[in-house]
């Protein structure tokens, strides 16, 4: 396990946040027409009432882009100043290139390093911790961390034990390295690979490459041993939160709000009990979105801000668990005044022009790459002809 406390005064501060959810909402009653389940069972066992499902053309990248644009809107930061983009996801658009690179191109973040991070539902807090470490070390000034998923694409819609749980969405934060009090104070990241098979997609990787047989056996979908994951979650989430608070030299009573991974209301209730905090200190929006894996914590954070559950100087704890098995917690002292001021119309227009320019720039670069390849081939052929002539 890795514990990090950022000792210097330079820390990563959250200066922008955004979320994106597909329009299509799938209710429990609709699910009950697909598999042998009921609204009552799902609500009682999980707390979920509905979830958002990506439509045609919507992908992890497109949801990431919308969430990232919203987060950048709040900061008024030109994406050209971003130094780092991390996308935490288990459902990238492609095995490669990384979804973070697609995002880097679409945002016009020309100077940013970009990579995907895979740590299951703990992915966002893992990404936040990695970015915060680089900012605290003074290596970068601005970072964008996204948690985004289209779990509906890896869900077995014939398996009632899993398909009722998951949803799609994305959340993003922009971090700035600042030498002032507050920001991301500490984090705890952990893993126990011995529990890997409790929550996995067995097929499609190098162990079992994609083939007709593998697909026929439905090995390309999520498989989960729910009860064991449940036990693991109720043990590790409160423990990780406690350890991260200790690192930050704070106690549970100092926390204004816990923003946990949204997997099951019963897990949140048990975690609240184990931490000794009232249930209303555990933010929950599970009813409307289900489990959106790496996206769930940043989406919940955005909603907590929208609902004015977070104020300047509040201590909040982000905590998650997931496939791997992994767990993570981060302690943040909120350093920005809330609510953030509404931007003027002129500013909104200018920002959207910036994103249009990024799209145009991307197209021009693709075009130039084709022209450049043609010119290179021509030169290569000419050189070959000249060489042959010289030899004759
Ligand atoms: N509708 C109706 N009945 C169902 C359903 C359903 N959707 N699913 C299961 N059942 C049945 C089972 O077949 C079982 O029937 P049986 O007693 O006749 O055998 C009964 O309900 C009880 O099943 P359990 O699995 O014991 O139900 P449980 O109370 O454990 O709830 C659940 C299952 C909701 C999955 C729970 O275990 C859970 O939330 N686990 C944690 C999952 C999680 O948090 N995953 C997070 C990571 S996701 C990621 O990283 C991508």
Q: What is the pLDDT of residues 11-53, one digit of tens each?
A: 999 999 999 999 999 999 999 999 999 999 999 999 999 999 9
Q: What distance lies between CA 217 and its chain's CA centroid?
A: 29
Across 332-352, average pLDDT: 84
Average pLDDT, the chain: 94
Whether residue 163 lies in the annotated active site: no
Residue 324 CA, ligand 1 centroid: distance in Å: 19
Whether residue 73 lies in the annotated active site: no
pLDDT band at 6 (very low <50, low <70, confident <90, very high): low
Choice between 248 and 350, residue whose per-residue pLDDT is larger:
248
Residue 343 CA, ligand 1 centroid: distance in Å: 45
In a shared domain, residues 269 and 350: no
Instruction: For residue 81, give the DSSP letter.
Output: G
In a shared domain, residues 272 and 289: yes
In a shared domain, residues 347 and 231: no
In a shared domain, residues 227 and 209: yes
Ligand 1 pocket member 268 (CB < 6 A): no
Q: What distance lies between CA 72 and its chain's CA centroid?
A: 16
Question: Using one digit for the tens of pLDDT, what is the confidence trace for 101-146?
Answer: 999 999 999 999 999 999 999 999 999 999 999 999 999 999 999 9
- Note down the domain range covering 381: 342-392
pLDDT band at 76 (very low <50, low <70, confident <90, very high): confident
Across 47-68, average pLDDT: 97
State the burial class of residue 288 (Cβ atoms within 10 Å of its Cβ: 0-12, 13-18, 19+): middle
Across 337-346, average pLDDT: 80
* Confidence at residue 219, expressed as pLDDT on a 0 to 100 scale: 93
Q: For residues 48 and 190, what is the distance between their CA atoms, to the nearest angstrom?
A: 27
- 3-state class (DSSP) for residue 218: coil
Q: Domain count of the chain?
A: 2
In a shared domain, residues 350 and 329: no
Whether residue 121 lies in the annotated active site: yes
The residue whose CA is least distant from atom 12 of ligand 1 is 161
* Confidence at residue 4, expressed as pLDDT on a 0 to 100 scale: 66
Query: Which atom belonging to ligand 1 lies closest to the Cα atom of 266?
Result: 39
Is the backbone of residue 47 left (phi > 0), alpha (psi -120 to 50) or beta?
left
CATH of the domain at 153: 3.40.47.10
Q: What is the CA radius of gyration of the chain?
A: 23
In a shared domain, residues 223 and 127: yes
HEC-encoded secondary structure of 313-373: CCEEEEEEEECCCEEEEEEEECCCCCCCCCCCHHHHHHHHHHHHHHHHHHHHHHHHHHHHH
Phi/psi of residue 55, nearest 5 degrees: -90, -175
In a shared domain, residues 39 and 62: yes
Q: For residues 15 and 145, what is the distance between their CA atoms, to the nearest angstrom?
A: 12
Question: Using one digit for the tens of pLDDT, what is the confidence trace for 178-225?
Answer: 999 999 999 999 999 999 999 999 999 999 999 999 999 999 999 999
In a shared domain, residues 287 and 368: no
Q: Is 2 a residue whose pLDDT tops 70?
A: no
Tokens 């050189």 found at: 383
Ligand 1 pocket member 322 (CB < 6 A): yes
Residue 118 CA, ligand 1 centroid: distance in Å: 24
In a shared domain, residues 316 and 362: no
């Amino acid at each position: 396990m890795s514990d990090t406390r950022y000792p210097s005064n330079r820390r990563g501060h959250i200066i922008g946040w955004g979320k994106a959810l597909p329009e299509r909402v799938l209710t429990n009653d609709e699910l009950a027409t697909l598999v042998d389940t009921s609204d009552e069972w799902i609500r009682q066992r999980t707390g979920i009432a509905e979830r958002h499902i990506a439509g045609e053309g919507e992908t992890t990248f497109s949801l990431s882009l919308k969430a990232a644009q919203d987060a950048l809107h709040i900061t008024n930061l030109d994406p050209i100043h971003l130094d780092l983009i991390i996308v935490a996801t288990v459902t990238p658009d492609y095995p490669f290139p990384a979804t973070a690179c697609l995002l880097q191109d679409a945002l016009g973040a020309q100077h940013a390093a970009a990579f995907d991070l895979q740590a299951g539902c703990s992915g966002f807090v893992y990404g936040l911790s990695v970015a915060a470490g680089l900012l605290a070390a003074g290596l970068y000034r601005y970072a964008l961390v996204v948690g985004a998923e289209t779990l509906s694409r890896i869900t077995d819609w014939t398996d009632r034990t899993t398909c009722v749980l998951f949803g799609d969405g994305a959340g993003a934060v922009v971090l700035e390295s600042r030498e002032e009090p507050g920001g991301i104070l500490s984090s705890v990241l952990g893993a126990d690979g011995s529990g890997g098979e409790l929550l996995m997609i067995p097929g499609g990787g190098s162990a079992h490459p994609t083939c007709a047989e593998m697909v026929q056996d439905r090995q390309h979908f999520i498989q989960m041993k729910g009860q064991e994951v449940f036990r693991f979650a109720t043990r590790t989430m409160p423990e990780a939160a406690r350890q991260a608070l200790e690192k930050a030299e704070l106690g549970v009573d100092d926390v204004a709000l816990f923003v946990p991974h949204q997997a099951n209301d019963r897990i949140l209730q048990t975690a609240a009990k184990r931490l000794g905090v009232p249930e209303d200190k555990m933010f929950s929006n599970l009813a409307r979105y289900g489990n959106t894996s790496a996206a769930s914590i940043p989406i919940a954070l955005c909603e907590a801000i929208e609902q004015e559950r977070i104020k300047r100087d509040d201590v909040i704890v982000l905590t998650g668990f997931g496939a791997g098995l992994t767990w993570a917690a981060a302690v943040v002292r909120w350093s920005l005044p809330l609510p953030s001021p509404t931007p003027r119309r002129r500013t909104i227009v200018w920002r959207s022009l910036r994103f249009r320019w990024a799209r145009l720039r991307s197209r021009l670069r693709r075009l130039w790459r084709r022209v450049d390849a043609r010119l290179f081939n021509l030169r290569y052929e000419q050189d070959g002809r000249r060489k042959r002539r010289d030899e004759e």
